């Protein structure tokens, strides 16, 4: 059976209200960061039950900002800071370059940690082995939205503090994980610094955009300044174009009112309707693909609720699998190349046997809200035909 319609891996969700609202902002005469960004931030604060949310023009900017703060000022109550040439961030290579390139573009060292073959997240076993006194931060990515075991990570952080006298900073790159829950609590709400992306094909888009959730009020206040040159946008100035004294150099990373108006309107649809469909489609695959010959599903047994952004399986003869799916009009992709094999990171190359053991088998299939019940049945049947 061939489905005449293509089933894409990603689809942009743009609500009619977002189109209307953004066109009102566009013709309002005020389009940069202003009251609509404030409104979007309030909405996110209420969603994440956290008052320390700073929007940015992308998740990449947010990550760059955090690493800059780690390097220049220190983060958290303990002001953990990159100080020594051996200082580094432990991170996963299985992610978008956007996770790791902000580390490198801040001239901070990274060290690769192996990847857990059961769920594509950073291996906490390997992480424990690689920690040392120069580990100033750990970067994790919730692959596809499935949470890293944050309880175990917290325990590792506490043991580290007993040994070295400070807590490494935990940075959660939640770009895949909008709406995911771990132990019944949303990602972004587990006491770490967390970054979300509102880029075009993410669960919720503001066209481009992102946010950072901080766990220290000092970092939150500083980030609000640093995202716009180091200037307080709310200050009362004697001359409205001329700022008061700038104490710390900042960037142009702020969100604008046009993007915020799109984010606000899409937010309601995504959180009320779309995420639920992603969750159901993922649960359907967990069940229907678990005993299919030649297919291995991931282990999603931890206490979580996942509106999968991508659904990853392992297959033998991946090229054959991809060809077979393409012939049946179903898009598939590996989505992200492993970051550690690029020329620009050659000096950090290290053996990652677990990632090596499965990276050539992993592949993602369509799972988002546009995949109908009929589509997902068709996808499962097409996989069952073999390749």
Binding site for ligand PLP (CB under 6 A): 58-60, 95-96, 98-99, 141, 173, 175-176, 197, 199, 210
The CB-of-243 to ligand PLP minimum distance in angstroms stands at: 27
Nearest residue (CB) to ligand PLP, 195 versus 295:
195
Q: Are 116 and 152 in contact (CB under 8 A)?
A: no
Q: Token pair of 227, please?
A: 């995202």
| Nearest-approach distance from CB 290 to ligand PLP, in angstroms | 26
Rounded least distance, CB 334 to ligand PLP, Å: 13
Minimum distance of ligand PLP from residue 105's CB (angstroms)? 13
Question: Cα separation of 318 and 166, whole Å?
Answer: 44
User: Taking the alpha carbons of 33, 34, 39, 42 in that order, is the dihedral positive or negative?
Assistant: positive
Shorter beta-carbon distance to ligand PLP: residue 113 or 295: 113
Q: Which of 92, 215 has the CB closer to ligand PLP?
A: 92
List Cβ neighbours of 141 (8 Å cut-off, separation of 6 or more). 92, 94, 95, 99, 121, 122, 148, 172, 173, 175, 176
Min dist. Cβ of residue 194 to ligand PLP (A) = 12
Nearest alpha carbon to residue 89 among 102, 108, 105: 108
> Which of residues 298 and 383 has its CB atom nearest to ligand PLP in the complex?
298
| Contact in structure between 354 and 115 (CB atoms under 8 Å) | yes
Asked if 384 and 292 touch (Cβ cutoff 8 Å), the reply is yes
Nearest approach, Cβ of residue 369 and ligand PLP (Å): 18
Could you give the strand order of the β-sheet that contains 185-186, starting from the edge strand earlier in sequence? 185-186, 181-182, 304-305
* CA-wise closest residue to 348 among 168, 103, 171, 170: 103
Q: How far apart are CA 315 and CA 300, in angstroms?
A: 17
Of the pair 25, 335, the CB lying nearest ligand PLP is at 335
Tell me whether residue 308 or residue 387 sits nearer to ligand PLP (CB atom). Answer: 308
Q: Report in angstroms how near the CB of residue 61 gets to ligand PLP at its nearest.
A: 7
* List of residues 6+ apart from 273 with CB closer than 8 A: 369
User: Cβ of residue 362: shortest distance to ligand PLP, in angstroms?
Assistant: 15
Between β-strands 109-112 and 88-91, what pairing exists: parallel, antiparallel or unpaired?
Answer: parallel
Of 69 and 139, CB closest to ligand PLP: 139
Based on CB atoms, which residue is closest to ligand PLP, 33 or 99?
A: 99
Nearer to ligand PLP, 113 or 141 (CB): 141
- Residue 60 CB, nearest distance to ligand PLP (Å)? 3
Least distance between ligand PLP and beta carbon 99 (Å): 5
Q: Which CB atom, from 58 or from 135, has the smaller least distance to ligand PLP? A: 58
What's the gap between Cα 152 and its chain centre?
20
């Amino acid at each position: 059976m061939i489905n005449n319609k293509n089933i894409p891996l990603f689809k942009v969700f743009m609500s009619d209200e977002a189109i209307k609202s953004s066109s009102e902002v566009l013709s309002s005469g005020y389009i940069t960061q202003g009251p609509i960004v404030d409104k979007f931030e309030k909405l996110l604060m209420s969603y994440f039950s956290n008052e320390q949310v700073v929007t940015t023009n992308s998740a990449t900017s947010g990550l760059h900002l955090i690493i800059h703060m780690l390097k220049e000022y220190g983060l958290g109550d303990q002001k953990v800071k990159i100080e020594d040439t051996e200082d580094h961030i432990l991170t996963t290579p299985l992610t978008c370059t956007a996770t790791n390139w902000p580390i490198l573009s801040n001239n901070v060292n990274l060290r690769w940690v192996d990847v857990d073959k059961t769920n594509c997240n950073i291996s906490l076993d390997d992480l424990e082995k690689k920690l040392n006194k120069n580990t100033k931060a750990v970067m994790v990515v919730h692959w596809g939205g499935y949470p890293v075991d944050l309880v175990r990570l917290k325990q590792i952080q506490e043991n580290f503090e007993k040994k070295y006298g400070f807590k490494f900073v935990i940075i959660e790159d939640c770009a895949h994980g909008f709406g995911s829950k771990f132990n019944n609590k949303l990602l972004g709400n587990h006491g770490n610094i967390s970054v979300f992306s509102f880029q075009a094909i993410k669960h919720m888009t503001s066209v481009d955009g992102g946010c950072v959730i901080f766990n220290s009020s000092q970092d939150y206040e500083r980030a609000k300044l640093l995202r716009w040159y180091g200037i307080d946008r709310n200050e009362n100035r004697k001359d409205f174009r001329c700022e008061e004294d700038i104490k710390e150099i900042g960037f142009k990373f702020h969100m604008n009112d046009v993007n915020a108006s799109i984010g606000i309107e899409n937010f309601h649809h995504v959180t009320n309707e779309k995420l639920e469909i992603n969750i159901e489609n993922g649960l359907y695959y967990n069940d229907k693909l678990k005993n299919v010959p030649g297919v291995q599903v991931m282990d999603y047994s931890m206490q979580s609720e996942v509106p999968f952004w991508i659904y990853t399986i392992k297959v033998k003869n991946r090229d054959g699998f991809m060809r077979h799916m393409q012939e049946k009009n179903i898009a598939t992709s590996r989505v992200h190349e492993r970051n550690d094999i690029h020329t620009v990171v050659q000096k950090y190359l290290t053996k990652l046997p677990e990632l090596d053991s499965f990276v050539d088998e992993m592949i993602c299939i369509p799972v988002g809200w546009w995949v109908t019940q009929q589509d997902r049945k068709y996808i499962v049947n097409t996989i069952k035909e073999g390749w």
